A and B are shown apart, each in its own frame.
Chain A
Amino acid sequence: MSWLILLLSGALEAVWAAALHRAFQATGRRRIAPSLLFVVSVAASTAGLAIAMQTIPTGTAYAVWVGVGVVLTSAYAIATKVERPTAARLLLLSGIAACVVGLKVVA
């Protein structure tokens, strides 16, 4: 159950990043919906991480949460053509994800 919550919280990371992106690209009233989505998903994501951390060790929980967030955010950016998936970019993105995971696992 904790793991399911943790994975969902990680996915919400990507949701708020995407909503933030929309909120800053839109103007006027079209900013309202993405801004609300951002606030709700960022709160739910942080709360989910806190709940998962009660049973999963902190370092492991954070690593999984961030890893899922980075992968899904990049996938969203590539799928919506915001970002071009060049080999170098994919390599560097996975490098950051791997280092953050490693950092939290040894910590």
Chain B
Amino acid sequence: MMLKRSVPWLVLLASAVLEAVWATALGLSDGFTRPLPTLVFIVTAALSMLGLGMAIRSIPLGTAYAIWVGIGAALTVGWAMATGVEPFSVPKVLFIAGIVACAAGLKLLPARKQAPAAEQAPEPAGPARR
């Protein structure tokens, strides 16, 4: 059960990683003039959005989109810092940690389907007392 519920989240995380890949490839493609980064961009962008589409079948749309964008941006900047394209800075690391923490928090929130109709349950039917 636990594993089954985690699959859409794994797909979402993989899509977010692919988002960072295509964002980096887009930067390397020099306006689509270099063939290899352009090809990588097209393939990973398509896969990334396909994965997002699959994830939002079971993860609420607003949450999935925010995590996809957030993890993607965090990895893009993290990768740029790790490879020395962008200088390392403490505020950046803090913001990245903030995104990851918020995404993890959203994962921990109870899913809508886990509380089925409990809140919309009709009032117990009974003979009217008034």
Interface of A is mostly: helix
- Bound-state Cα–Cα, A93 to B62, Å: 8
Cα separation A42 to B52 with both chains bound (whole Å) = 13
Q: How large is the interface on A (under 10, 10 to 19, 20 to 34, 35 or more residues)?
A: 35 or more
User: With a CB–CB cut-off of 8 A, which chain B residues contact A95?
Assistant: 98, 101-102, 105
Partner of A99, one of B61, B62, B70, B106: B70
Measured CB to CB, the closest approach of chain A to B101, in angstroms, equals 8
Interface size class of B (residues with CB under 8 A): 20 to 34
| Contact residues in B for A92 (Cβ distance below 8 Å) | 102-103, 105-106, 109
Closest Cβ of chain B to A41, distance in Å, is: 12
Would you call B49 and A42 a contact (CB within 8 A)? Answer: yes
Q: Which of A31-52 contact B (CB under 8 A)?
A: 42
Q: How far is the CB of A84 from chain B (nearest CB, A)?
A: 6
User: Are A106 and B92 also in contact (CB < 8 A) when A69-B69, A95-B98 are?
Assistant: yes
Assess whether B95 is in contact with A99, with CB atoms less than 8 Å apart. yes
Q: Is there a chain A Cβ closer than 8 Å to B112's Cβ?
A: yes
B57 contacts A by Cβ under 8 Å = yes
* Contact of A96 with B70 in the complex, beta carbons under 8 Å: yes
Cα A88 to Cα B108 in complex, Å, equals: 11
Q: Which A positions have Cβ atoms within 8 angstroms of B?
A: 17-18, 20-21, 23-25, 42, 62, 66, 69-70, 73-78, 82-84, 86, 88-89, 92-93, 95-100, 102-104, 106-107
Which of B's residues lie within 8 Å of A, judged by CB? 49, 52-54, 56-57, 60-63, 65-67, 69-70, 73-74, 77, 86, 89, 91-92, 95-96, 98-99, 101-103, 105-106, 109, 112
